[in-house]
Amino acid sequence: MRVARLLLRRCLSTSSFDPRNAIHEKNSSINAFVHISDCPPTIEAETSSQSACSKPLQWTTVAVKDNICTSDMPTTCSSAMLENFTSPFDATVVKLLKRAGADIVGKTNCDEFGMGSLNTHSIHGPVINPFQTLRSAASVSWRNREKRTAGGSSGGSAAAVAADMCDIALATDTGGSIRLPASYCGVVGLKPSYGLISRWGVVSYADSLDCVGLMAKSTFQVRRAFDVLETPDPNDPTSVSKRLREATAGVLREFSPLKRRSPFEDSQLRVGVPQEYFAQELSPSIYNSVRTILKALKDLGAQIIPVSLPSTSYALSAYYVLASAEASSNLARYDGIEYGTRIPLPPGSDSRKASKVYSHTRTQCFGDEVRKRLLLGTYALTADAFDNYFLQAQKVRQLVRNDFDRVFRWPNLRTAEGLSSSSLSAEGVDVLIHPSAIRTAPLLPRETASTATKSSMDPLDTYLQDVLTVPASLAGLPALNIPVPTIQDDNVSADSDQDGWPVGVSIVGQWGCDRLVMDLGMVVEVAMLSSNTQ
Amino acid sequence: MARLFSDAWQVVIGIETHVQLKCRQKLFSRATNGLLSDSPNSRYNVFDAAFPGTLPKLNPKCVDLAVRAALALNCNLKPRSNFDRKHYFYPDQPVGYQITQYYSPFALDGTLTLPKLGRRVRIKQIQLEQDTGKSVFDYKTQSTLVDLNRAGAGLIEIVTEPDLRSTEEAAEYVRSLQTLLRSMGVSDGNMEAGSLRCDINVSLNRHGEPLGTRCEIKNINSVRFMVAGIQHEIERQKSILCAPSPMQVSQETRGFDEHRWETYTIRSKEDAPDYRYMPDPNLGTLTLDENTIEHVRNRLPPTPEATRNRLINTYGPRGVSEDSIDVLMGLDSSLDVPFDGGTISNHESHSTNSVAYFDTLCKGRDPREVINWITQTLLGLLSTMGKSFSTSYLATSQMGTLIDLVSNGEMTRSSGRLLLRHILLHSPSPDTSIRRLAKDLDLISIGPTDHADEICRRAIEALPSEVAAIRSGNKNVLNRLIGWVVRETKGKADVQKTRSRLEDLISKM
């Protein structure tokens, strides 16, 4: 009940004042927003009208990641290439939000074209993680607090939610770009099943992996927006058909182990714990958080089952080959000819070849990380490398999918269409649970430059982080990050890694099981709340 | 010379033809396809201009036309094929890649038989792909202008095996392909307008030896240029191979200089770009199930070959010559190909094709009469008026009435011609009654007996000395009496009937 009341209050909290004042105020220290919209005049007018109340997202403030096109605000993708670019059209997701009555308050910071894990590769500067530890909150002024990353690439969206600058944030996730910042900032983040939410108007990084997802303080809020956005879009060729959506919903209705009233009584929720996700690099605090959640679920009657996903170790390299290859293709359009920034050649240089004009603009306007991935991707697609890199990576991707299909008791309705929904297999699990990140949010590079903790910025280390999020991306599965309340246990020694910063746990389901994953997310939230209040 | 040469060397030619599909909309966007008359950059949308966040959406009409082409070329259709991205930077390619079918084209292993030379050319594959925009160099400003009207238009590329052995065969291949694709409604096939363009691969080898190194002549846009280009390429390669110290032909891509009628090097094999082909992650698999293929097959217009055979088998025994059938079929070559595989239906009388027009008119009529009216009278009158041929000037029912009036003897052939000329000049509405028009113009023949006899009698009275000459055996003079009658009746009198009537009257005197 308490949760419900809490949620209700949150839903209605934004109706009485313009949230933009608070956004402006907070943004100067967090840098979550890169553009804040004007207050829509319709809000005042509509609050009184009856029909407005029927809109599902009325009075809800929503922030939109800056790689999602909006016709009334710039869409920069945090790149100098699109610094002054405003799209002539709204992305389908933006249109759906507007139609549902949402108040789109602005565009959020991100890594350039979604490439990065720390939200430091941005022309708008890094996002500062707004989280306040119990230790720092009261005594230390903002200016003097340690500045940690919000994670990337959707760092702005995560920080905006964490700092109460909006109710819900739209973000994108290609290899973990929602789940990682959600974990670092302590918010809920959903990367839905591939194909459920339209990508029309979402600036492509790697088409076969890109997903639009949602962030909020609670799974309930995420779910509200998901219900608005989960609809077929004829403009997106990868958008799943109405027929398949209905079939999936039917299977879920029939077999969901989470019956509304008594979640675990008559059904055995089977929770898988993939052993490959508990690597050496995992810090003990992360390990403990997962244990907390698993214990809570076990207490509720769920079965905890260790499972193995043997292809996990290959997933990361496959991901970087595929994502970079697709990026090198998708970003080829930024040449400064039709739109975007164009850096004129210095006077006197040879402009007869178009390639000179292009390379000049592209070299100047793309940031380091983007340039690095474009070169890697370009190489992976060359005739000599294609078989060894791109094709191999495609094969690994299939192995990763097979791994998941083997451990889940749910059929993969996307790849095994027409499969009868007569029963679930007795073996296998309903969901997987694993840590979302190998550690808490690292310090921002500026603060670490001269110290020994420099390793937090080691590129290989940031890639290693992706081990935990990339497999679900390769397989197109729904994955939800749930923040685990920080254990303020006096018995825990002042261990260096028990820093009080947020830690998240991922719930991963079979393709199409997004609502099952969210249902479980809500169960976990309630369990955590009640365990906290005990 | 050519013969001597071909004794020693074998010319091997393969052709890749890019054919623009006759669709209203582009291959992956809903923008209208640009026409030559459109002003630059007026026919594209955000997808064609590669705006961020746009995604392709396959136009099923393009697939239908591509399948038509594949069926007409007897190809095997693959139930599953894929789209790939071919990457290169070029101003008229705003997205940085062309979507094509590199790894798995939708159609394989077809044939096209050249009707005149009788050779069977194997088709290696057909793939669906996008056209590029156009770059126009402006000499005044020394800059390149880009027109996106054509960007993203649907193309098929038809690739032959190296089966052609002479310029004549190459020319006939392209012409037959053109005719076939036009009659299938696949494309305008207009080389001048760029809706059909060829890349020609040419190599020479001695008979019995393996194929020589080939050179590719890019972007040929007329059969004339193609013949000249191949000829020049043969001479050029021969001069390399037959040099006092023979050298190898180096593999390269060449262009054709339309002013000097020569080919020239564009780039050598070493400079060939790496297109970094990648499966398109958005479009997924193009599936062609049996139902789709059957649907297209059932609506497939007959090939020109089949139409010709049918016309010969149906109308040949009833006295229609093959020549006039060829003339009839030739009349359709200038017709506009309808969009999206639409049929030129009869109710749209303004665009009926001649064969259908002929078929309809032949119902219940002598086909010899009908074909003469179309290919001689109608075609002749139109050409003297300087108008191009079309069946749109009068509906089949009107043309039918006209032919009937003449066949029944209600109107003379020359009156019929006069009436047709009147119609062509004044284009009356399609529901005008031809019979009434003929009456109004006083073109209906004079009655069979009374009135005709009376005029003949007057002729005999008016020309007594001619009658005397006839009676004394000079039969030729009869023509003067006939001429008098025709003049008097303003051509309405039937010449044959008047002759026999006059002979009858004079013999009874």
Q: Any catalytic annotation for residue A356?
A: no
Which among A26, A65, A191, A217 is annotated as catalytic?
A65
Amino acid at A331: L
Comparing CA positions, the residue from A28, A36, A25, A155 lying closest to residue A104 is A36
**B97 in A contact zone (CB under 8 Å):** yes
Residue linked to tokens 């479980």? A520
DSSP of A336-375: SSSSS---PPPTTS--SSHHHHHHHHHHHHS-HHHHHHHH
- Which among A82, A325, A332 has the least Cβ separation from residue B96? A332
| Residues in B touching A202 (Cβ below 8 Å) | 53
Residue A88 has pLDDT above 90, yes or no: yes
pLDDT at B498: 84
- Which among A206, A355, A381 has the least Cβ separation from residue B276? A381
pLDDT at A157: 98
**B282 in A contact zone (CB under 8 Å):** yes
pLDDT at A151: 94
**B90 in A contact zone (CB under 8 Å):** yes
| Residues in A touching B284 (Cβ below 8 Å) | 237-238
- Which among B52, B97, B146 has the least Cβ separation from residue A329? B97
pLDDT at A2: 54
Look up residue A203 and give its DSSP letter.
P
**B41 and B116 both lie in a single domain:** yes
Q: What is the overall mean pLDDT for chain A?
A: 87
Among A212, A381, A414, the residue to mutate for chain B (most B Cβ within 10 A) = A381
- Bridge partner list, B129: B155
| Residues in A touching B85 (Cβ below 8 Å) | 329
Distance CA A185, CA A179 (A): 10
- Which among A87, A202, A329 has the least Cβ separation from residue B278? A329
Which among A37, A87, A154, A177 is annotated as catalytic?
A177
Tell me whether residues A234 and B57 touch, CB distance under 8 A: yes
pLDDT at A455: 41
CA B310 to chain centre: 18
- A200 to chain B, minimum CA–CA distance in Å? 6
| Choice among A82-86, A100-104, B355-359 with the minimum mean pLDDT | B355-359
| Residues in A touching B143 (Cβ below 8 Å) | none
pLDDT at A366: 97
Q: Is residue B78 part of a domain?
A: yes
* Cβ contact B374:B362 at 8 Å: no
**B281 in A contact zone (CB under 8 Å):** yes
* 3-class DSSP assignment, residue B206: strand
* Cβ contact B323:B311 at 8 Å: no
Contacts of B395 (CB under 8 A, 6+ apart): B349, B430
Domain spanning A2-308+399-484+505-533, CATH class: alpha beta
**B353 and B263 both lie in a single domain:** no
Tell me whether residues B52 and A69 touch, CB distance under 8 A: yes
Comparing CA positions, the residue from A115, A128, A42 lying closest to residue A463 is A115
Q: Is residue B445 part of a domain?
A: no
pLDDT at B24: 95
Helical segments of B49-121, H only: 60-72
**B77 and B31 both lie in a single domain:** yes
- Strands A211-216 vs A188-191: parallel, antiparallel or unpaired: antiparallel
Chain A positions with Cβ closer than 8 Å to B: 68-69, 75, 77, 82, 85, 87-89, 91, 199-204, 206-208, 234-238, 325-326, 328-329, 332-333, 335, 337-339, 354-355, 358, 378, 381-383, 386, 390
Q: Any catalytic annotation for residue A177?
A: yes
| Residues in A touching B146 (Cβ below 8 Å) | 337
Tell me whether residues A333 and B277 touch, CB distance under 8 A: no
Distance CA A13, CA A59 (A): 8
Q: Any catalytic annotation for residue A65?
A: yes
**B491 and B434 both lie in a single domain:** no
Of the residues B440, B464, B491, the one at which a domain ends:
B440
Which among A37, A87, A122, A153 is annotated as catalytic?
A153
Q: Is residue B468 part of a domain?
A: yes
Residue linked to tokens 């690099």? A281
- Bridge partner list, B257: B262
Residue by residue, pLDDT tens for chain B (509 residues) are 444 454 588 999 999 999 999 999 999 999 999 888 899 999 999 999 999 999 999 999 999 999 999 999 999 999 999 999 999 998 889 999 999 999 999 999 999 999 888 899 999 999 999 999 999 888 888 888 999 999 999 999 999 999 999 999 999 999 999 999 998 999 999 999 999 999 999 999 998 889 999 999 999 999 999 999 999 999 999 999 888 887 889 999 999 999 999 999 999 888 888 999 999 999 989 999 999 999 999 998 888 888 889 999 999 999 999 999 989 988 877 778 888 888 654 344 445 788 889 999 999 999 999 999 999 999 999 989 988 888 888 888 889 999 998 888 888 888 899 999 999 988 888 788 888 888 888 888 766 555 777 888 888 888 888 888 888 888 888 888 888 888 888 777 778 888 888 888 888 87
Distance CA A502, CA A440 (A): 6
Burial of A241 (0-12, 13-18, 19+ CB in 10 A): exposed
Tell me whether residues B282 and A238 touch, CB distance under 8 A: yes
* 3-class DSSP assignment, residue A24: helix
pLDDT at B477: 86
- B287 to chain A, minimum CA–CA distance in Å? 14
- B96 to chain A, minimum CA–CA distance in Å? 5
- B41 to chain A, minimum CA–CA distance in Å? 12
Distance CA A116, CA A110 (A): 9
pLDDT at B349: 40
Amino acid at B138: D
Question: Which residue from B minimizes the CA distance to A69?
Answer: B53
Tell me whether residues A68 and B53 touch, CB distance under 8 A: yes
Distance CA B466, CA A11 (A): 116
Bond prior to A49 in cis (omega within 30° of 0):
no
User: How many domains does chain B divide into?
Assistant: 3
**B196 and B324 both lie in a single domain:** no
**B32 and B97 both lie in a single domain:** yes
- Torsions phi, psi for A374 (to 5 deg): -65, -40
Contacts of A330 (CB under 8 A, 6+ apart): A204, A205, A206, A207
Residue B265 is inside which H or E element, if any?
strand B262-268
**B240 in A contact zone (CB under 8 Å):** no
Percent over 70 (pLDDT), chain A: 84
Count of CB atoms situated within 10 Å of the CB of A425: 9
Contacts of A397 (CB under 8 A, 6+ apart): A318, A322, A474, A475
Amino acid at A291: R
| Residues in A touching B90 (Cβ below 8 Å) | 354
**B220 and B307 both lie in a single domain:** no
Among A330, A362, A390, A415, the residue to mutate for chain B (most B Cβ within 10 A) = A330
* Cβ contact A43:A116 at 8 Å: no
Tell me whether residues A203 and B56 touch, CB distance under 8 A: no
* Cβ contact B164:B113 at 8 Å: no
**B53 in A contact zone (CB under 8 Å):** yes
Three-state SS for A186-220 is CCEEEECCCCCECCCCECCCCCCCCEEEEEECCHH
Label residue A453 by pLDDT band (50, 70, 90).
very low
Count of CB atoms situated within 10 Å of the CB of B369: 16
- CA B52-B56-B60 angle, to 5 degrees, is 160
Question: Which residue from B minimizes the CA distance to A77?
Answer: B52
**B464 and B418 both lie in a single domain:** no
Q: Is residue B241 part of a domain?
A: yes
Q: Where are the domains of chain A?
A: 2-308+399-484+505-533, 314-398
Amino acid at A454: K
**B245 and B316 both lie in a single domain:** no
Structural tokens at position B289: 């199930």
Q: Is residue B170 part of a domain?
A: yes
B185 — alpha (psi -120 to 50), left (phi > 0) or beta?
left
Residue A295 is inside which H or E element, if any?
helix A284-299
Among A93, A172, A329, A363, the residue to mutate for chain B (most B Cβ within 10 A) = A329
**B272 in A contact zone (CB under 8 Å):** no
Residue B155 is inside which H or E element, if any?
strand B154-160
Q: Is residue B341 part of a domain?
A: yes
| Residues in A touching B59 (Cβ below 8 Å) | none
Q: A219 or B383: which carries more pLDDT confidence?
A: A219
Of the residues B409, B440, B471, the one at which a domain ends:
B440
* 3-class DSSP assignment, residue B30: coil
* Cβ contact A172:A206 at 8 Å: no
Structural tokens at position A96: 């759906």
Q: Is residue B34 part of a domain?
A: yes
* Cβ contact B151:B92 at 8 Å: yes
* Cβ contact A154:A121 at 8 Å: no
Bond prior to A153 in cis (omega within 30° of 0):
yes
Structural tokens at position B464: 């007594």
Q: A292 or B1: which carries more pLDDT confidence?
A: A292
Residue linked to tokens 């219940």? B364
pLDDT at A329: 98
Structural tokens at position B467: 């009658």
Length of chain A: 534
Distance CA A454, CA A456 (A): 5
**B144 in A contact zone (CB under 8 Å):** yes
* 3-class DSSP assignment, residue B360: helix
**B362 and B408 both lie in a single domain:** yes
Distance CA B141, CA B126 (A): 40
| Residues in A touching B89 (Cβ below 8 Å) | 332, 335, 354-355, 358
The string over B441-450, giving b where at least 16 C-beta atoms fall within 10 Å of a residue's C-beta and e elsewhere, is: eebbbbeeee
Amino acid at A501: W
Distance CA B239, CA B249 (A): 10
- List pLDDT tens digits, range A111-156: 999 999 999 999 999 999 999 876 666 667 777 778 999 998 999 9
Tell me whether residues B277 and A381 touch, CB distance under 8 A: yes
Range of the domain at B146: 2-287
Q: A458 or A246: which carries more pLDDT confidence?
A: A246
**B341 and B465 both lie in a single domain:** no
Q: Is residue B353 part of a domain?
A: yes
* Cβ contact B241:B233 at 8 Å: no
Comparing CA positions, the residue from B198, B201, B222 lying closest to residue B213 is B201
**B229 and B281 both lie in a single domain:** yes
Look up residue B83 and give its DSSP letter.
-
Of the residues B262, B287, B312, the one at which a domain ends:
B287
